Structures are given as C-alpha cells and as structure tokens.
Amino acid sequence: MRYRVLGGTGIHVSVHCLGAMMFGSVGNPDHDDAVRIVHAALDQGVNFVDTADMYSMGESEEIVGKALAGRRDAVVLATKVHFPMGDGPNMGGNSRRWIVRAVEASLRRLRTDWIDLYQVHRPDHTTDVEETLSALTDLVRAGKLRAFGCSSFPVEEIVEAHQVSRRGGLGRFRTEQPPYSLLARGVEAAVLPVAQRYGMGVLTWSPLASGFLSGKVRKDQAVDMTSGRARLNPHRFDQSIPDNAAKFEALEQLVALAAEIGRPLPELAVAFAAAHPAVTSVIIGPRTMEQLDGLLKGATLTLDDGILDRIDEIVPPGTDLYRADGAWRSPYLTDPARRRRPLADRAAA
C-alpha cells in the first residue's frame, strides 16, 4: 500500500481509503460482517476510513466505532456533517449550533475522543461560511478535531472559504472530496487545480461511477432494474436517451482497454483516479469482502502515459458523461425563483 500526505496536515494516509457508506441498513446490515471488512482493509495496509453521520442515519459510524476498538490510534478517521439527522429545521446544515451538536454525536457513535478529518458534506447557503469555519476552528482548538475539509463544493465556494479564512484568521478547509471517475472528469477543469493551488488534500468518491464501471453494466445488455441504483434511477440506464448512449459507448471502449492490459475494469477505474497529481486518496466503498478484495487489487496497478492517453481519447479531460448520485447542484439551477425577477418587476420593465 502506498501513502501520501493529506494536504498540508502532515498526516500520512493510504492511497486507498475505505468508505463506509455501504455499512448499515442501506448496504450491508450485518454489523459483524462489516467489521470484518474494516479489519481486512486495515490488515492490507489501508489506514484511512471515511464515513458520515447520515450514512444509514448514524449506523455506519456505529459500525466503524466497533471495528476500530483497539486499533483507533493507527487509523486516520474521517466523517462528515450537513445532512438532516432528525425532524426539525435545526437538525442539519452548517450552522455552529448544529455542527457542535453533530460532532458530539459522531464522537459517541465512533467511540473516540477525536476525529482526524471532519468534512462539511455539502454547501449550505443559509449559513455564512465564516460561521461554519469559526465553529470548526474552535473545535480544532478544543481538541475534538485534527483538521477539517469540505465535500462536493463548487470551485467558487472553495475559493471563497479560503479567502474568508485568511481575512478572519480562521482555520481553513484542508481537503475537498469530489466525485471523480473515468466517466465523470468535470472536476479536472477547476476543482482539482484549485485544490492543488491551495495545498488541499483530495479524497475522490464514486470511482466506479455508481456501478457503471463495475464490469456488470454493458451496452445492449439487459440491466436488472429491480434493485440497487437501477431501481432508484431507471432513466440512467435507458440507452435510447442520447446522453446515455454516449456513456454506454465510452463504457464499451473502456472495457476493451481494460481487457488489453489484462485487468478488470474496476481496477482500471480505481487506478485512473489515483493517477491524478491532485488526488491524495481514492475512496472505495465495498459492501462485501469480495468487493473489497477486487478493489484493492487496483492498488497494484500503475497506468503509464500510453494508457492515460487512450483514456483521454475515450473520455476527454474535463468531460462529464455521468452525473454522480448525490452530487451537489447549485440552487440557482434547481430553484427557478432564484433566476427570475418577481412578475410585477418584469411587467414594470
């Protein structure tokens, strides 16, 4: 296993990070089996574990806490805050009020006294970023956090957060966690270069593009629409849609490329994400021991320039052929009221 320094923190983390999103009711509900997966990853050199309070509504953190009993000091532990964790308007978001409460709850579930990397899971436009950074800075000073970062933030908000930190003498985001894969390369245009400019560590998620790069999805082959992501997003697998057709065509070329180098497509996918100079660690999120073993085989694969050039020909740099599940979308795009003057104003004009 290779290790890299996480931004400017001085913390060394494995190039592959064990993601715990699939531990609990939404993935693998067998706690003992999930604990075995964590132990197997640690035994193979992984020292970085990433979870979030909202994964299975806290159950994932509880499983990780069980798994790290007696091994906590050897592990760099990351979790996240933002999404609602109960009823009521103040049970989520990026306010000081919620962050302070959420940290304490995560510490209890994780059975630890500190969190190595605490990440703001998504932007919150109801809260000034200064409020968020101030709360996180105080938690670092209190010894509850070692560092903090952001996840799926657009580049302009990463830049704004750094400017606010500098002006206010506050701690800054040390990491960013964006979606990044062979089919979702949009972050190469600005997010990854800006992260490098600010000396941020980068943890990428969804290297298998929500299962598209698992090797089980192929062009002109039937997809099981009754389970998993296909059940939740059936339109994504409709090959009659032009955007999907382009995605499936690229997928077939990537399958062929993986076969040429004699490796399964998931190994090619994980190795690709790890090859970018801005990327510190690639989050793999296995549900089973078999999936863990297959994904970690990608740790032994190094892609030369010839292979990376071939990938660039199939999916050009900075191109998104796929939109990651749960990726942040600007409210200025999703809420029509934010881009339309009131009708009375329009009529007056």
Residue with tokens 């799926």: 152
Query: Residues in the chain, how many?
Result: 349
Mean pLDDT to the nearest integer, 177-196: 97
Percent of the chain with pLDDT over 90: 79
Give residue limits of the domains in the chain: 3-348
User: Is the pLDDT score of 220 beyond 70?
Assistant: no
Sequence-ordered list of residues with C-beta below 8 angstroms from that of 337, at least 6 positions apart, any chain? none
Q: Tell me the per-residue pLDDT of 307-322, one tens digit each, with 9 for 90 and over.
A: 999 999 999 999 999 8
Say yes or no to pLDDT of 199 above 70: yes
pLDDT at position 345 = 78
- Taking residues 149-168, what's their average pLDDT? 97
Please give the average per-residue pLDDT across 276-280, as a whole number: 98
Averaged confidence pLDDT in the chain: 92
CA 271/CA 264 separation, integer angstroms: 11
Token pair for residue 337? Answer: 């009221």
Residue 242's pLDDT band (cuts 50, 70, 90)? confident
pLDDT at position 303 is 95
pLDDT value at 36 more than 80: yes
Pick from 5-9, 232-236, 240-244, 281-285: least confident:
232-236
pLDDT for the residue 337? 85
DSSP letters spanning 206-258? -TTTTTTTSSS--TTS---TTSHHHHH-GGGG-TTSHHHHHHHHHHHHHHHHH
CATH of 3-348, one of 3.40.50.300, 3.20.20.100, 3.40.50.970, 3.30.230.10: 3.20.20.100
- Say what the pTM is: 0.92
Whether 348 has a pLDDT exceeding 70, the answer reads: no
Catalytic residue ranges:
55
Q: Mean pLDDT throughout 26-39?
A: 97
Mean pLDDT within 88-105: 97
Distance of CA 87 to the CA centre of its chain: 25
Residue 161 in tokens: 């957060």
Distance separating alpha carbons of residues 39 and 274, to the nearest angstrom = 23
Query: What's the confidence (pLDDT) of residue 323?
Result: 81
Residue whose tokens read 């990938």 = 311
Q: Are 24 and 59 in contact (CB under 8 A)?
A: yes
Segment holding 186, helix H or strand E: none
Distance CA 146, CA 139 (A): 9
DSSP string, 66-87: HHTTTTGGG-EEEEEE-S--SS
